[in-house]
Amino acid sequence: MRRPIRHLTGAAAVLAVLVAVSLVAAPGTLGPPVGLAEPTPSGASPGAATARPSPAAATELPTASLVPPDGQGGGTARPIDLLPVPDADAAVLQAAVDRARVTFGLNALAVGVSVDGRLGWSGASGLAPDRLTPLTGASPFAIASVTKTFTAAIVLQLVEEGRVRLAAPVTDYLPGLTAAEGVTVEQLLNHGSGIPDLLAPMRNRLNAEPSRTWTPEEVVALVGPSQFAPGTDWGYSNTNYVIAGMLVEAVTGNAFADELERRITGPLVLEGTGFPPAPPRFGYMLGKSWTTAFWTSAAIVSDADDMVRWADALYGGAILAPATLRQMLDFNDDGYGLGAEHYTIGDLAGYGHSGLLRGYTTLLIHLPDAHLTLAVLASGHIFSPGELLTSEAPGGASILSIVLGIRAD
């Protein structure tokens, strides 16, 4: 999951971090936090990444690396495999990932790279949760709130198909859902709904009942009254994306997991991506109660290889029509669009999504000016993935600078 940002400093910020169950870089920044806010705190270890520029709609979309046959969305994309980077570059990248894992004290770290939508590399350092199995770029991790990129894309495909309207009330599709009264579909996707986040009211129950399976209806019933009138403020809430999952199921008549496979993971051959417990390799990395409660907001499992392919497809125009993709990347003052966040890493502006839940930290980012896609998946303690990518650990260059050098070759 991911978290909103407001301005708190000093002891209040430190306390918020200490009690956090979920945490990751603030919207639009991959450096130190500038604030924390309820219900889900935000923060990161100090780093050199710069503050974000003023959010703005994306004016230039990256070159598509995956092209759907009819130029439209709807899960018609055909996967294109990336060529491997030269062996010498691969060795340098692997050494950088090993250094980064040790420097940041992580249990496990995987990194995926796409350069110009043409060259690709993934690597990992550390061991799987069993502490025995070596990791690769195809090793599964919980991706936390990067899940929202999939959920938003499917809702937006339904908009393209004329089955959902962004300006329509959620209750047009989910009658009787009182928690969403007065909320539009767009306000779900951009966190302008006022619906509270599920973490605070559910945290103790999720820990106390680890084997329980939660339904979306049960989760929504526990979140409490709205924090503000829809459209009058902004507040990051995982509940919005649980409701978005419910909306997809109501409109299509199918399980969300089936729509995910039909529209995205099947056509793109993302064989390492899905919801636990199926396929069999997907265990409940977050625990059963946390997985089922966070569902379409933060429960997907994936790997570095799939994450890079997914971002290249989504931000390259293979999943959504250009106008729809521009809507997704039209960022508000909090650096959030429709299932996308605005970032700056080093001197490069980009977009994607970040997440952290129960010790898993993820960042998926596309840097259009550099024609780069980067995925970071890790387990261990709290850290800033942007700092990890830009850190010049003892013994070598940063991961970002190495990748930029590959592009220049």
The pLDDT score that the predictor gives to residue 282 is 82
**Which residue blocks in 222-362 are alpha helix, DSSP H?**
238-252, 256-260, 288-298, 304-315, 322-328
Structural domain harbouring 265: 10-408
Please report, for the chain, how many H helices and E strands are present, in that order. 13, 9
CA–CA separation, 111 and 105 (whole Å): 16
pTM of the model: 0.85
The pLDDT score that the predictor gives to residue 300 is 98
Number of domains in the chain: 1
Residue at 202 is within a domain? yes
Q: Taking a C-beta distance cutoff of 8 angstroms, is the pair 397, 96 a contact? A: yes
The pLDDT score that the predictor gives to residue 60 is 41
Three-state SS for 98-160 is HHHHHHHCCCEEEEEEEECCCEEEEEEEEECCCCCCECCCCCCEECHHHHHHHHHHHHHHHHH
Residue at 2 is within a domain? no
Residue at 133 is within a domain? yes
Residue at 93 is within a domain? yes
Q: Taking a C-beta distance cutoff of 8 angstroms, is the pair 172, 218 a contact? A: no
The pLDDT score that the predictor gives to residue 40 is 35
The pLDDT score that the predictor gives to residue 394 is 75
pLDDT tens sequence for the chain (409 residues): 433 322 222 222 322 333 333 333 333 433 322 222 223 332 222 222 222 233 333 334 333 333 333 444 444 556 778 999 999 999 999 999 999 999 999 999 999 999 999 999 999 999 888 788 889 999 999 999 999 999 999 999 999 999 999 999 999 999 999 999 999 999 999 999 999 999 999 999 999 999 999 999 999 999 999 999 999 999 999 999 999 999 999 999 999 999 999 999 999 999 999 999 987 778 899 999 999 999 999 999 999 999 999 999 999 999 999 999 999 999 999 999 999 999 999 899 999 999 999 999 999 999 999 999 999 999 998 899 999 999 997 778 999 999 999 965 5
Neighbour-count burial of 377, counting CB atoms closer than 10 A to its CB (0-12 exposed, 13-18 middle, 19+ buried): buried
Residue at 1 is within a domain? no
The pLDDT score that the predictor gives to residue 278 is 83
Q: Taking a C-beta distance cutoff of 8 angstroms, is the pair 110, 373 a contact? A: no
Residue at 4 is within a domain? no
Residue at 372 is within a domain? yes
According to DSSP, the residues that pair with 316 across neighbouring strands are none
Residue at 353 is within a domain? yes
Q: Taking a C-beta distance cutoff of 8 angstroms, is the pair 68, 76 a contact? A: yes
Six-digit token pair at 403?
A: 């990748």
List the CATH number of the domain containing 26.
Answer: 3.40.710.10
